[in-house]
Amino acid sequence: MAGLHDFMEIAMKKLLAGLAIILGVSAQVHAAGVNLVSNGSFENPDIQSGSWTILYDGDLTNWEAGEDGVEVRDNKAGTAYDGDQFVELDTTHNSSITQTLATTAGSSYELSFAYSGRISQSADTNAISIFWNGVMVDTVTAIGGAQHDWVVYTFLVDALGNDILTFAANGLDDSFGGSLDAVSVSAVPVPAAAFLFAPALLGFMGLRRKTAKVA
C-alpha cells in the first residue's frame, strides 16, 4: 500500500499545480479583457488643448451622436479622467451618443465608465442615463463641485450579439450636463477549464482519503 500512497501523493501535487496554473491564467485573461468600445475615452478627433467643441453625427470617431451633437472638451470646464478629452451630452439641448458593439450572444460583459457632475452644477442638470439595447441600465448624477470628482461605475450586461450601447443626457435641458469618460465593455471570462477540472480533483481527493483510511 505504501507504493500506492506515494503514487497518490505525487498525482495530487500535479493536480493541484495544474489547477493553480488554470486559475492563474483565468485571472490574467480577466485582467487583460479586451475593450470592445472604440474611442471610449473620446480622444479622436483630437481638439485643441484647453478648448471645447460640439461634434455632430459622423464627427466623433466610432460614435453616433444625437440630433444636437455632443460636446467634446479637452481639459476645459474640468479635467479628463483618462487621456485629455471627455464628453458632455447636454449641448444646446439634451443629446446622446451610441455605439454598436460586436459581442457574442449569450455571453456576459462588464460595462464600465467614469462619470462626474459638471463643475458647480446641480444634480438635477447633471444626470446621464445608460441604455443597453434600448433598455435603461441606470441613471447616474451628482452635484458638481469646484472640480471634477470622477466616479467609475460598473455594470454586468448580457449580450444578444451586436449590442447597442447608449448614453443620454437626462437632466434639465439647459446646456449644462454631466461628464463622461473611459467607456469600456469587456467580456467576463468563465474559467471553464477550472470548473471541469474541479470535480475530478474533488473525486481524487475523496479517493485519496479512502485509500489512506484503508491503509
Pairwise CA distance, residues 107 & 116, whole Å: 29
pLDDT of the residue at 11: 52
98 pLDDT more than 60: yes
- Asked if the structure places residue 36 within a domain, the reply is no
What's the chain's Rg over C-alpha atoms?
A: 25
- Asked if the structure places residue 43 within a domain, the reply is no
Q: How many CB atoms lie within 10 A of CB 138?
A: 12
Counted domains in the chain: 2
> For 115-159, how does the pLDDT look when each residue is reduced to its tens digit (9 = 90+)?
999 887 878 888 999 999 999 999 999 988 888 999 999 999 999
Q: Is 56 left (phi over 0), alpha (psi -120 to 50) or beta?
A: beta
Do residues 76 and 97 share a domain?
Answer: yes
pLDDT of the residue at 174: 76
Residue type, 106: G
Do residues 131 and 59 share a domain?
Answer: yes
Do residues 122 and 196 share a domain?
Answer: no
Do residues 105 and 140 share a domain?
Answer: yes
Do residues 201 and 168 share a domain?
Answer: no
Do residues 88 and 165 share a domain?
Answer: yes
Domain enclosing residue 17, as ranges: 2-31+191-214
12 pLDDT more than 70: no
- Asked if the structure places residue 37 within a domain, the reply is no
203 pLDDT more than 80: no
User: Could you tell me which of 170, 163, 176, 178 has the C-alpha nearest to residue 107?
Assistant: 163
Do residues 83 and 25 share a domain?
Answer: no
- Asked if the structure places residue 57 within a domain, the reply is yes
- Asked if the structure places residue 116 within a domain, the reply is yes
Average pLDDT, the chain: 81
User: Could you tell me which of 17, 16, 32 has the C-alpha nearest to residue 110?
Assistant: 32
- Asked if the structure places residue 156 within a domain, the reply is yes
Residue type, 129: S
Pairwise CA distance, residues 187 & 36, whole Å: 9
Annotate the chain with DSSP letters as a single string: -HHHHHHHHHHHHHHHHHHHHHHHHHHHHHHTPPP--TTTT--SSPPPTT-EEEE-TTTSTT-EE-TT-EEEEESSSS--SSSSEEEESBSSSB-EEEEEE---TT-EEEEEEEEEPPTT--TTT--EEEEETTEEEEEE-----SS---EEEEEEEE--SSEEEEEEE-S-SSS---EEEEEEEEE----HHHHHHHHHHHHHHHHHHHHHHH-
Do residues 201 and 151 share a domain?
Answer: no
Do residues 26 and 63 share a domain?
Answer: no
pLDDT band at residue 101 under the 50/70/90 scheme: very high
> For 43-96, how does the pLDDT look when each residue is reduced to its tens digit (9 = 90+)?
999 999 999 999 999 999 999 999 999 999 999 999 999 999 999 998 899 999
22 pLDDT more than 70: no
102 pLDDT more than 80: yes
Do residues 139 and 200 share a domain?
Answer: no
Do residues 96 and 14 share a domain?
Answer: no
- Asked if the structure places residue 134 within a domain, the reply is yes
- Asked if the structure places residue 47 within a domain, the reply is no
pLDDT of the residue at 133: 98
pLDDT of the residue at 181: 98
Do residues 182 and 196 share a domain?
Answer: no
* CATH number, position 119: 2.60.120.260
